[in-house]
Amino acid sequence: EWNFAERVGRVEPSATVAVGNKASELQEQGVDVVDLSVGEPDFPTPERIREAGRQAISDGHTGYTASSGIPELRQAISTDLKGKGVACEPGNVVVTPGAKQALFETVQALVDEGDEVILLDPAWVSYEAMVKLAGGDLTRVDLGQHGFDLEPALDDLAAAISDETQLLLVNSPSNPTGAVFSDAALEGVRDLAVEHDVTVIADEIYDRITYDADPTSLASFDGMAERTVTVNGFSKAYSMTGWRLGYLAAPEPLVDQVSKIHGHSVTCAPNFVQHAGVEALRSVESDVATMVEAFERRRDLVVDLLADHGKEIPKPEGAFYAMIPTPSDDVAWADAAIEDAHVATVPGSAFNAPGYARVSYAASEERLKEGFERLAAEGLI
Ligand code: PLP
């Protein structure tokens, strides 16, 4: 009889992974599944980055690095952040194997048993799990009733936040909604965070994938540098999901604490991957622009296809996801979508947003059209 730690009982396996497994199972049976559930770009990693990774291996960059990352990469990241108006020196940066690890370590360093953490719903699946593993208590502010926008929900946030609040998580551009929060919304967050002395995690992993709006980094607002942990990564903008590379940038006292967790858990991010990361920040903006153009065409296509079936959705302004309204039992809807239409989506409940399903448009225009035709044929849209 196993005697597991109580903390693992507090969390469920990732819903997005579960959908992916179901899609793979059907595919193994020979079923042609249109997979709109994935959270990764469908482009290869740009060749310059792959070459830099190969070169780094050839050059022998295969041992441990300094725990917080190689100096060239920490420098490149701090320069990149300064370009976004964020005060950041290399010593403020911890390079991690993926943004997920950066978030995990930050939550571990800040959240004690019973501490209050605020999430803006719909929220990415892993935030809740990370907070629960740390023993934190969740307070949730629903942006769903405000078209997924934060500005009209600031009063709700003001009502939820207090001097007891330890941490607020802000993710813009958002997974799963594609919303990009305006400067006015972020200023509202700043005012509340300063008033109640709250630390904020700004998960900006999709900040290079935007269409209509250019998002501002939360840490660049007056009063925020000293209370913001900026998290970002290479998975999405540079199509590097499997390389596992991300980072956090934070004030030094927090970096000191996070570094203990980092050093005792992962030691460092993979050496040659960090070298590839330097190349990503140095040279591939045009590849990023090409990918973003493709995502923008698909975004427009998804919005049009839904409108053709009488479903108007707010136009996602960033990332590569859209939330489509479903009947209230979104889990049953998503089950029918995969079982009957062979279209994989993620039920909104996974993001604490029942009555929606998330579709990823990291898929070709042809597959998107096919997917929506199938959903329509089954009466699902
Ligand atoms: N944050 C958000 C909002 C995400 O959607 C993801 C990936 O799906 C991550 C963080 C983690 O990305 P990675 O660990 O691949 O850098």
- Residue-wise pLDDT for 220-275, tens only, equals 999 999 999 999 999 999 999 999 999 999 999 999 999 999 999 999 999 999 99
Please say which residue of 255, 283, 311 terminates a domain: 283
Q: Let me know: does 352 contact 323? Beta carbons within 8 Å.
A: no
Backbone angles phi, psi at 227, to 5 degrees: -135, 10
Select from 94, 235, 266 the residue to mutate for testing ligand 1; criterion: most ligand atoms less than 8 Å from CB.
235
Q: Counting atoms of ligand 1 from 1, which one is nearest the CA of 174?
A: 3
- Residue 19's domain comprises 6-45+286-377
The pLDDT score that the predictor gives to residue 21 is 86
Cis peptide before 173 (omega within 30 of 0): yes
The pLDDT of residue 213 is 80
- Distance from the alpha carbon of residue 166 to the mean position of ligand 1, in angstroms: 22
Where helices occur in the chain by DSSP H, the ranges are 15-28, 47-58, 71-83, 99-110, 125-134, 154-160, 183-195, 252-265, 271-283, 285-308, 330-339, 365-377
Which CATH number do you get for residue 314? Answer: 3.90.1150.10
Residue type, position 211, single letter: Y
Of 109, 91, 82, 260, which Cα lies nearest the Cα of 199?
A: 109
Closest C-alpha residue for ligand 1 atom 5:
175
Copy the structure tokens of residue 315.
């136009």
Q: What is the DSSP letter of 349?
A: G
pTM over 0.90: yes
Q: Following DSSP, what letter does each residue of 189-246 receive, concatenated?
A: HHHHHHHTT-EEEEE-TTTT-BSS--PPPGGGSTTTTTTEEEEEESTTTTT-GGG--E
The single residue listed with the structure tokens 């360093």 is 109
Please report, in tens digits, the pLDDT of each residue of the chain (381 residues total).
Answer: 999 999 999 998 877 777 888 899 999 999 999 999 989 999 999 999 999 999 999 999 999 999 999 999 999 999 999 999 999 999 999 999 999 999 999 999 999 999 999 999 999 999 999 999 999 999 999 999 999 999 999 999 999 999 999 999 999 999 999 999 999 999 999 999 999 999 999 999 999 999 988 899 999 999 999 999 999 999 999 999 999 999 999 999 999 999 999 999 999 999 999 999 999 999 989 999 999 999 999 999 999 999 999 999 999 999 999 999 999 999 999 999 999 999 999 999 999 999 999 999 999 999 999 999 999 999 999
Strands 93-96 and 343-344 turn out to be: unpaired
The verdict on 78 and 178 lying in the same domain is yes
Judge whether 276 lies within some domain: yes
Give the Å distance between the CA of 379 and the centre of ligand 1.
Answer: 32
d(CA 323, CA 175): 10
| CA of 17 relative to ligand 1 center, distance in Å | 13
The atom number, within ligand 1, closest to the CA of 39 reads 8
Instruction: List all residues whose CB is within 6 A of at least one atom of ligand 1.
Output: 39, 98-100, 124, 171, 175, 203, 205, 233, 235, 241, 246
ipTM exceeding the 0.95 mark:
yes
Ligand 1 centre distance from Cα of residue 170 (Å) = 13
How far, in Å, is the centroid of ligand 1 from the Cα of 132?
A: 18
Chosen domain end from 236, 257, 283: 283
In a domain, residue 153? The reply is yes
Compute, in angstroms, the gap from residue 331 CA to the centroid of ligand 1. Answer: 23
360 - beta bridge partners? 321
Q: Helix, strand, or coil here: 247?
A: strand
Task: Check residue 20 and give its pLDDT.
Answer: 83
Confirm whether 119 is domain-assigned.
yes
For residues 173 and 99, state if they share a domain.
yes
- Tokens 């990823």 sit at which residue? 360
Six-digit token string for 344: 């994989």
Relative to the CA of 245, which ligand 1 atom is closest? 16
> Quick check: is 1 in a domain?
no
Please report whether residue 26 resides in a domain: yes
Q: Considering the domain boundaries, does residue 57 fall inside one?
A: no
265 shares its domain with 350: no
CA of 171 to the centre of ligand 1 (A): 10
CATH number for the domain including 127?
3.40.640.10
Q: What pLDDT does 208 receive?
A: 97
Instruction: For residue 203, give the ligand 1 atom closest to its CA.
Output: 1
Q: Do you know the residue count of the chain?
A: 381
Atom of ligand 1 nearest to the CA of 241: 15
